[in-house]
Structure 1
Amino acid sequence: MKALVWHGKNDVRIDNVPDPTIQDAGDIILKISSTAICGSDLHLVDGMVPTMEEGDILGHEFMGEVVEAGSSVQKFKKGDRVVVPFTIACGHCEYCNDTLYSLCDNSNPKKELAKANLGQPTSAIFGYSHMMGGFDGGQAEYVRVPYADVGPIKVPESLTDDQSLFLSDIFPTGYMAAENANIQKGDTVAIWGCGPVGQFAIQSAWMLGAERVVAIDNVPERLNMAETHGRAETIRTTDRTDVYEKLMEMTNGKGPDCCIDAVGAEAHGDSMIGKVIDKTKEVLQVPMSRPYVLQQIMMSCKKAGTVSIPGVYVGMVNEVPFGAAMNKALTFKMGQTHVQRYLKPLLEKVEKGLIDPSFIITHRLKLDEAPEAYKTFKEKKDGCIKVVLTP
């Protein structure tokens, strides 16, 4: 089959690779109908995530048709159309029983790599390094899905792929981000990053009772989507933008009640010291997450406010004003998304017409065009916000 394969930093290619096979009685094999490029995939391409190996198949946002099922699979049969969570969970460990699926104890077969990098192993993730399990991703013609009775959900015929695909990651991620922000009725919510997760965090903030949503980014197309589709107030960042001052002006000096970091490791900023550190770490090839958004959030958030972090961080973070966070009594909630917890309720919102997730799509391409699509997405060319690939 054809698949998008990682060959090193800034080097992804379409290769012919062996078709996946059933390896466990709980597996299913999917024929991919739609798959997407996620912003966190760019961390892999940029070489920021350790334990990647040449030959790894990328992609953790995908859906498709069941073409084969293991002997113990109960929920699905050949021909079913399903969307798959990016996190892989066993369904019966302590964390899964508490619906903390991204912290699953059993799904990651490479626990020692995860412990070495994270302290404890977390759940496996499709197509996202060997410390996350080394599972092949779904930017391919076919994919093996383990623990099939725990993860995927059947998609009704009434919904298109475009409406369903983002249940795999970015819609639940944006929703959990808003939920983690502890939004109360009447709150002002500030969201850094108007990429796909940020756009769904905006939508979710309204669903959870926000009175105002302020979206912060430096890409005009993303800000336009946040304004027109998300009904958000916006701040466009430039080298001269003081985000803190803007937010103080907008909130009469109080600061936002809730702040969401939907940017993560590769934030841009104008701290000269930070840029020197970034360059040093790049030369030394040591993973180092950039602190600019966290700096702004810790200084801007109101006293006793809540900070939610869905943005992916790797390695270390320097120059974070932790004193501000401590002295202002900020609450932090973060983590990979417990997608399985949100699949059914968010699917119901789509079915009821409360949201059509397809609004995020700007580019539809064939799988063969994936390497070029990565470049377009990374460089934010042609108004690119979200790419969907079809084999």
Structure 2
Amino acid sequence: MHLRTLPDAHLDAFSERINYAFRPTEGPNWDRDEEDHPDLFTPFGFYETPPEATPEASDLTAVCGTYDFTVRVRGEWHRMPGLAAVASPPETRRRGIVARMLDSLLERHRENDVALSTLWPFEYPFYRRFGWATANNYARLTVPPEQLSAVAADPAGSFRRLSADEDLDAIRAVHESWATESLAVKRTEGWWRDAVFGGEEPDSFVYGWEDDAGRLRGYVVYEFEEREDGDGRRLNVRELAAADEEAAAHLRRFCRDHDSQVEEVRFARLPEWARPIDAYPDPRAATLEIRPGPMVRIVDVASALTDVSYDAEESVTLDVRDDRCEWNDAAFRLDVTDGDATCRRIEDGGDADCEVEIGALSQLLVGARTVEEVVRAGDASAGGEAARTLERLFPRERTFLREQF
């Protein structure tokens, strides 16, 4: 079987498989939305057709797609494609086809000098088997609107609805000053227009707060939705971004002032490390849920460990275990000197300083877990000076991938 970039003639077949996998209640009579995917998206098909032959849509055994993200890792920008739309029709399931497709995709990434990958899983154990590991958890906070009074500013400045055509530069500047954590995505214009503003048929509102000088210093993306219990409506805040705390307080005031329309305000995705419940005078009036977030994977150990930045000059030998990618399932020597890193595969890993699973190494690389945590979980073995060396090379970071895809 062979992984190919999906030809335009097979987009209907691609959508049919996606709809069956993720929206089966809509039935077989579906209409493909031409605006389904922002400009970063590339669909792939896994075909039984040999590479020298022209594939037919009927040969399409499974599908997937990737978003060509650029993501901040340890203070610098790196390509980290986002895997999505993994699906197979019922007639090809339980044959290991999706596994082979994922292996082929990782090989393709490596051939294209892509060293990292991310995804939102439909099932965490499934993707753990293929080497991905959780990058961050996220918090979901639900509060009655009146609770926001304690964290809202007194009226000042002004609010106005924003548009992608007129306000993109200003809103992008706010986002870049706000989303500074590891795994923040450098959003393209197409991603802003389609994923944030909603394209030609938006399903959410985007409002901004300007100070008295007319400078945009924050924005909020939200929609109205019915509560699960059927008792009233909710203001669902998808993103609240502010250049500083003053702007954030005014945006919380904006959300509070919807108290005549909604019974609760939900902040759908917040960093777990932000401790979002602490500022409220009555924390019991709020509901705080912690949920697992996206996953990350090193595609190529030698390239990934060479490319990232380090704040320490160290050397360490790693015996990496990777059941899916034979080029990673080996021992590697990492040397960092004068700010430059070199990671190379070595023949003998018998005297390695550390043994580590590929998922755990991926988490260490992006800063999602500490050395102590991965050792305690049994995903790595390192002690004494070797553990301290790894801690200096891979300190914990505030990781948070905000994008939903």
TM range (shorter): under 0.3
Q: Which has the higher strand share?
A: 2
- TM normalised by structure 1 equals 0.27
TM-score, L = length of structure 2? 0.27
